[in-house]
Chains A and B, each alone.
Chain A
């Protein structure tokens, strides 16, 4: 015990020596306390961060109203008479790199979707037996009438292609998200 006490006294002596050093008197700034972040500073930082995030959210909300979607081309897809009930046809829209699928439903209506699966971008195909759009990579199923996923890993619907029929010809005129 007495040894410890002596040690403490020695340390204090050293501390005192440091405190009394001439350079300490000339430069009394403590780096540790200089870098110390107080709670008040933290609250101010959080408030500014809150303002920044609110601003970023407002910008994001304004983007769709400022940037108008580019006009998509009107592309001839197929002849209506060439697709029987339950049949399908592949085409590309709006560019050659965007594969799509056109399907005639049992009620005779034509629907078209992007062929790119919303899970991991494999190409979906029409499964006539199941009356569904089927992704063979991970066994994802989408409904033909709405393109909604109902089985397998996909969670988002397939983008729908807007169609227009003029006489016997079918045209793709846009993409619905």
Chain B
């Protein structure tokens, strides 16, 4: 494995962990939303949805970065 590949592997693992943490945060927000809905609170699910969308955008950007990185390595 050359240096570039090794760096790619490390980067990929780090991004995988970051995206995984993001998904766990989203699951927590989803649980908080359900809890708030049961209490008839309308604002909390809205804020949770905004937060979840933000986390999804970050996750999407990370995935795009990984795909681009992959392409560069293959070239």
A43 touches B63 (CB 8 A): yes
| Minimal beta-carbon separation of B60 from chain A (angstroms) | 7
Please give the number of chain B residues whose Cβ is less than 8 angstroms from any Cβ of chain A in the complex: 32
Whether the Cβ atoms of B42 and A50 lie closer than 8 Å is no
Q: Which residues of A contact B40 (CB under 8 A)?
A: 64, 177
Give the size of the chain A interface in residues (CB under 8 angstroms). 22
State the CA gap A44–B55 with chains docked (Å): 15
Q: Which of B34, B45, B55, B60 lies at the interface centre, i.e. has the most chain A CB atoms within 10 A of its CB?
A: B45
Q: Are B26 and A50 in contact (CB under 8 A)?
A: yes
Tell whether A46 pairs with B59 under 8 Å between CB atoms, given A39-B16, A177-B41: yes
A61 to B34, CA, bound (A): 9
Give Cα distance in the complex from A164 to B42, angstroms.
25
Give bound CA distance, A46 to B29, whole Å. Answer: 16
Contact status B49-A60, CB under 8 Å: yes
How many A-B contacts are there with CB distance less than 8 Å?
A: 83
- Once the chains are docked, how many angstroms separate the CA of A28 from the CA of B57? 41
Interface of B is mostly: helix
Contacts of B34 in A (CB 8 A): 60
Min CB–CB distance B19 → chain A (angstroms): 5
Q: How far is the CA of A44 from the CA of B26 in the complex (A)?
A: 16
Q: Which of B16, B29, B48, B56 contacts A43 (CB 8 A)?
A: B16
A10 to B46, alpha carbons, bound, how many Å? 67
Is A61's CB under 8 angstroms from B33's CB? yes
Which residues in chain B, 19-60, are within 8 Å of chain A measured between CB atoms? 19-20, 22-23, 26-27, 29-30, 33-34, 37, 39-42, 45-46, 48-49, 52-53, 55-56, 59-60
- Chain A, residues 7-47, CB within 8 Å of chain B (1/0): the string is 00000000000000000000000000000000110111011
